[in-house]
Chains A and B, each alone.
Chain A
Amino acid sequence: DGGITQSPKYLFRKEGQNVTLSCEQNLNHDAMYWYRQDPGQGLRLIYYSQIVNDFQKGDIAEGYSVSREKKESFPLTVTSAQKNPTAFYLCAIKAGGPGELFFGEGSRLTVL
């Protein structure tokens, strides 16, 4: 069954801890994206990668890091430097024409 798998679906973290969110795809697409969603603010781009071993900062990259060692995987680390990490995180791939993104089910991170 092809698609995007994000894990974990829910995650709780104490302040000061780093946490890594997983995003795996088996659709063989090159471009992958991480967005953050907050109530009333829509989606904001954190990082994106257009090819293996390459990634670019989005609009709100501070406090986050990513890697793209394999085509199918694009993990996001939320570091302790991120001031307000509680949010819903969405991973996406570019599927189809320009702007046609296919999203995973999301990971909800809560910092206690």
Chain B
Amino acid sequence: AQSVAQPEDQVNVAEGNPLTVKCTYSVSGNPYLFWYVQYPNRGLQFLLKYITGDNLVKGSYGFEAEFNKSQTSFHLKKPSALVSDSALYFCAVSRLSGTASKLTFGTGTRLQVTL
């Protein structure tokens, strides 16, 4: 079985400050890891993914994520937050073998960026 934990229901940060949204995962074998973002009453949008290679992955809108195998974490980061980054963020995991697009999502973290 595979699972993802997002320990924070909400993260608050001031505009211009760095942000981190935490994610830890559990999966047998090597994982595919993903971040998605959701704006109110909309579908999810793909931000970035880690499959193999560099532990630091860069994605859309200036976001990046750091894969840490020893800590089984895949935290989402951005050096300077914008008010428009306020949204619901989901981490997801999938196994490398089998149906690679059968994702297991975390419960989501709401990011609130204030002026």
Residues of A at the B interface (CB closer than 8 Å) are: 4, 31, 33, 35, 40-45, 48, 50, 58, 90, 92, 94, 96-106, 108
| Structural contact, B101 and A43, CB atoms closer than 8 A | no
Task: Write the nearest CB–CB distance from B103 to chain A, whole angstroms.
Answer: 6
Query: When the two chains form the complex, which single residue of B32, B43, B100, B105 contacts A42, counting CB atoms closer than 8 Å?
Result: B105
Task: Write the nearest CB–CB distance from A83 to chain B, whole angstroms.
Answer: 21
A4 (CB) vs chain B CBs: closest residue: B43
| Structural contact, B90 and A101, CB atoms closer than 8 A | no
Query: When the two chains form the complex, which single residue of A40, A42, A96, A103 contacts B45, counting CB atoms closer than 8 Å?
Result: A103
Query: When the two chains form the complex, which single residue of B44, B45, B101 contacts A94, counting CB atoms closer than 8 Å?
Result: B101
* Complex contacts, A90 vs chain B, CB 8 Å: 43-44
| Structural contact, B43 and A92, CB atoms closer than 8 A | yes
| Given A42-B107, A101-B101, 15 other A-B residues pairs in contact with their CB atoms under 8 A | A4-B43, A42-B90, A42-B108, A45-B102, A90-B43, A92-B43, A98-B101, A99-B32, A99-B100, A100-B49, A100-B101, A101-B44, A103-B43, A105-B43, A106-B43
